Amino acid sequence: MTEQTLQDQQQHEGVNEYERTPVPPRAWLGFKSFIGMYAGEHCAGTELMIGPLFVAAGVSAFDVVVGLLVGNFLAVLSWMFLTAPIATRARLTLYYQLEKICGRKLVTTYNLANGVMFCFLAGSMITVSATAVGVWFKFPMPALTDVYPNSAGWVLAVLGVGLLIAVVAAFGYKAVAKFANIASPWMVLVFLVFGIVGFRDIVAASGKEIHSASDLWSFAATELWKGGAPLPGQVKFTFLHVMFFSWFTNAAMHVGMSDLTVFRYAKKSWYAIASGAGMYVGHFMAWLAASLLYAHQLRVTPGNTDVLPGPMAFKACGLAGLICVIIAGWTTANPTIYRAGLAFQAVVPKWPRFTVTLITGLIATIAGMFPVIAMKLLGFVALYGLLLIPMGAVIFVDFWLMPRIGLKDRFAERTGISFNWAAGAAWIATLAICLFLNFNKEALAGYVNPDMFQIYFLLLPAWFIAGLLYIASSILLQKAAGLAAGAAKVLAAVALMGTVAPAVFYFTGEMTDKSLHAWLMGATVLWFVTAAFAMGAKAPAEPEQETPL
């Protein structure tokens, strides 16, 4: 929604979207624009799932509160010092920047992967909205451990909500984006009310009184976020889990560089500090508030471990809570489907945008029928970040380091290639290494702590691995001709030595004439194969005039 909001502002001024040109100074935006955008975008449907899943992961009060404070701070720093400086210098979209570095075909592959992940993310938001429908129609809804749909009512609810969102995304994206901007302040306050109501209900149920800050902290540690074992099927979360998760929840946007498209409009790079409005409103207050609803549910009915935003919101705030759930899921899924459609359209550019967006919405709807995506949202968000982080490292290295180490930046643009194998190899190899470590972490238990290879902890090393691999593969690609010429010179020198040395051995009687002939022939072949490369294969200049007879 952030990107589209920016585009809407530009279009309102009668200016193009600068998809393939730098944003000119007349189109730059002030600091306040970015505060509103980030605060609105990051208080949405995902928060209603992520907050409760922290409680399901057995997180303690210190781990969740301090972990979120630190992790969100690191996220803001990532926007400020990694994304925004490049954005305000190049002022290009992510995709055009990647095209200059990677080539059109590799960017198309990246778009395909990005679009698929967008579909799954939108599907989880359709799941959120469908839980509100379940409150009205009272059909069985998925449990925390469910993988597949558990009732016909659930399938029909997701299908109805998903089709509506898909059609609206195809027809009226801008209208929904504007409505989302109107609804954002109200949604932020409703999330705050969720937290207030949940906290008050837990205090009342416990019979305890709070008179000081120490009482409040003690209550949080013993009644709200108690720690201990996670619920079945969930990963145990510690301080490091919470910190890394909150840091890299939006990894695709900051270290993955997607928000180059956003901050290319910023007058100054420090405007990226506005991302803190989204992090501490959405990824701190809203997550904690949503987690309190689930903590109260577990206290009242310990056997009810279902993470269903609709029923929880309805119990806390009645019909207004249900409306918030529907709008939060809808306004998040709508731009996500739209973005996925744009990504897929790069793969099939001749298809109408309406058709591509509608098909994308259908894919997201089918994904939303499977509750495992929403119930495992913490892991999915980490996987999404892992998929896109390597390309962010490629952009960072290409922009800041390549000229300084004697390599060509924007290699695809300079050479006219459509697929930069150096960038492609860095991307694929990074994913292969990290996924191998994650899937085989138990096999490595005899050597290291397997927990360090959980996907939440692999995103930071993935960024560095991708950067180093891009440098190494670029050296091989860009220096291939020079390396070949150097090797040819060495082999040519060996050929010359191989021409003389056998004669010496033959003269001293240590080599037969047949061996001499064989060595000389081998040296001759080696010389003529390598000498052309070693000498640069330059043709001799033509004589100025014919030699007289």
Structure-token pair, residue 495? 């050929």
Closest CA to 225 of 53, 102, 78: 53
- The lowest-confidence range among 15-24, 201-210, 330-339 is 15-24
Q: Residue 14 pLDDT > 60, yes or no?
A: no
Which pLDDT does position 543 carry in this prediction? 39
Q: Are 514 and 440 members of one domain? A: no
What's the DSSP call for residue 266?
Answer: B
The pLDDT-based confidence of 545 (bands split at 50, 70, 90) is very low
Identify the domain containing residue 197 by its residue range: 2-12+25-395+406-475
- Tokens in use for 152? 């016909």
Q: pLDDT tens for residues 356-386?
A: 989 999 999 999 999 999 999 999 999 999 9
Give yes or no: residues 450 and 489 share one domain.
no
Do 349 and 379 belong to one domain? yes
What pLDDT does residue 481 have?
54
CATH of the domain at 179: 1.10.4160.10
Regarding whether 37 and 176 lie in a shared domain, the answer is yes
Q: Which of 454, 475, 496 is the last residue of a domain?
A: 475
Residue 401 lies in a domain: no
Cβ atoms of 246 and 67 within 8 Å: the answer is yes
Same-domain pairing of 503 and 451: no
**pLDDT tens for residues 48-95?**
999 999 999 999 999 999 999 999 999 999 999 999 999 999 999 898
pLDDT tens track for 237-255 = 999 999 999 999 999 999 9
**Closest among 246, 238, 290 to 45, alpha carbons compared:** 290
> How many domains is the chain partitioned into structurally?
2
Q: What is the CA radius of gyration of the chain?
A: 30
Residues 434 and 520 placed together within one structural domain of the fold: no
Give SS3 for 315: helix
Q: What tokens does 114 get?
A: 């990005």
Query: pTM to 2 decimals?
Result: 0.83
Domain termination site, one of 432, 449, 475:
475
What pLDDT shows up at residue 22?
A: 94
Domain-terminating residue out of 452, 475, 498? 475
Mark whether 208 and 125 lie in a shared domain: yes
Mean pLDDT computed over 276-281 = 94
361 & 469 share domain:
yes
